[in-house]
Amino acid sequence: MKYFRLMCLLPVLLLVFAGCKIADPVIDDDTINYFDINLGDKTIEEMVVSPEGSKIAILGYSHNGMYDFVNIYDIKTQAKLWGKIIEKNSTYWKPINFSQDGEKLLFQLSFDSAVVVNSWNGTSLSGIGKIANARLFPDGETVAGISQYHYDPNFTTIPPVVSIYSVRTGDKIKDLTFTGTDGWGPENWEIVGTSGTNNIVLFNNITYNNVPTLQIVYWDIYRDIKTSNAYFGHARLILAENDHLKIFSPDFSVIALNEDNTGCFFYNTLTGGKINTTPFVRFRFDKEKGFIYQTFVPMAIANNKTYAIQEKNEDNTNKSQSPILYSQNDLKRITELPMPTGIVDSVKTQFFKFSGNNAILAKVISSNVYPHENNNPAIIRIWKLK
């Protein structure tokens, strides 16, 4: 009788399991999970994955350009945690970053004010006024930013004041002695991120020995001293249509640059040394136009010496809509990631971001740029790599 009841239940159980919908499609023997976030009629300006891979923060503006927004999603459940409308055009600087544990999030409310919030519910923890280009340190207790810009009557830019603030009180702790005088063009200095518990990472476009050069400085905020100063001669940022991308690893230890318009390489930001001897992208010579044709290749760098890239054909069209993971050192192919078919959008909106623990990769696969280029919704694909 017992076995008879089990035999009767078996068809029912099979029907139940057959009707279950898997939230995360799986490929490659359960090694890669993925899902999409559809934001509808929005334009995505920036996104960042929390270091431990639990959340993604998306910054952008409405389809009609009337307001900017910050939206936060839980990667595990795929649910939207919260969203906030912020001052229009405040995304000019686009700084937004999590604390190391993912519990706190910093973003600019306007050009000259920032806020640190609880990343789970958006509750404000600290408001910081008179600050631009702000960055939250990994411990979630300290913020670095540019507190003041100076211009003299002759329109010569004086180096900006870089200041440190307390998240607990919102008050300024101190101004740093950084002056930005180690290269031409102090107005071009930008805080791009933090390194470890005590360094801010500053970036500048300069001319050094009459050669266009990029400069990256590490500055210890506690000792108030420069801890490294790397120059990248004959190197430029990778072109992204009408913009240039600063493609760093999440810990800012590696940057991808275009060298002499011949190819792209990875560089160590502390030493300036080149990581790979063979370019991961070679530029081609255009016979009709008579110059090296630089193509933008959407890509991201991970902290574990790998990278993701969307390759191109010689005619500058997508070789594959599926991103491919490679090793930085030897450019060895690791795996191809799944992408939906039929997604074709402007390359300038297709960008990647890794989580700090290398477990999550996010890519903008469609973004409705305003004025709109097409009727595609804004979509981000999330891959769970581990």
pTM for the model: 0.84
- 174 is a domain residue: yes
Cβ atoms of residues 326 and 275 within 8 Å: no
Query: Could you tell me which of 294, 291, 297 has the C-alpha nearest to residue 318?
Result: 297
- Helix or strand run (H / E) with residue 314: none
Length, in residues, of the chain: 386
Per-residue pLDDT band for 37 (boundaries 50, 70, 90) equals very high
- 191 is a domain residue: yes
Judge if the upstream peptide bond of residue 298 is cis by omega within 30 degrees of 0.
Answer: no
Alpha carbon distance 249, 41 (integer Å): 29
Of all residues in the chain, what percent carry a pLDDT higher than 90?
46
- 270 is a domain residue: yes
User: Which two three-digit tokens encode residue 337?
Assistant: 């990631």
- 12 is a domain residue: no
Alpha carbon distance 384, 337 (integer Å): 10
Domain boundaries, position 194: 23-384
Q: What is the CA radius of gyration of the chain?
A: 23
- 239 is a domain residue: yes
At 183-219, the pLDDT tens digits run 444 557 889 999 999 999 999 887 767 777 899 999 9
Q: What CATH number is given to the structural domain containing 136?
A: 2.130.10.10
Cβ atoms of residues 57 and 98 within 8 Å: yes
Q: How many domains does the chain have?
A: 1
At 132-147, the pLDDT tens digits run 889 999 999 999 998 8
- 164 is a domain residue: yes
- 137 is a domain residue: yes
Query: Could you tell me which of 35, 98, 79 has the C-alpha nearest to residue 356?
Result: 98
Look at residue 112 in the predicted model and tell me its pLDDT.
82
Cβ atoms of residues 117 and 97 within 8 Å: no
Instruction: Give all strands of the β-sheet with 352-354 in edge-to-edge order.
Output: 26-27, 32-40, 378-384, 360-366, 352-354
- 84 is a domain residue: yes
> Side-chain half-sphere of 295: how many Cα atoms within 13 Å?
23
Per-residue pLDDT band for 385 (boundaries 50, 70, 90) equals very high
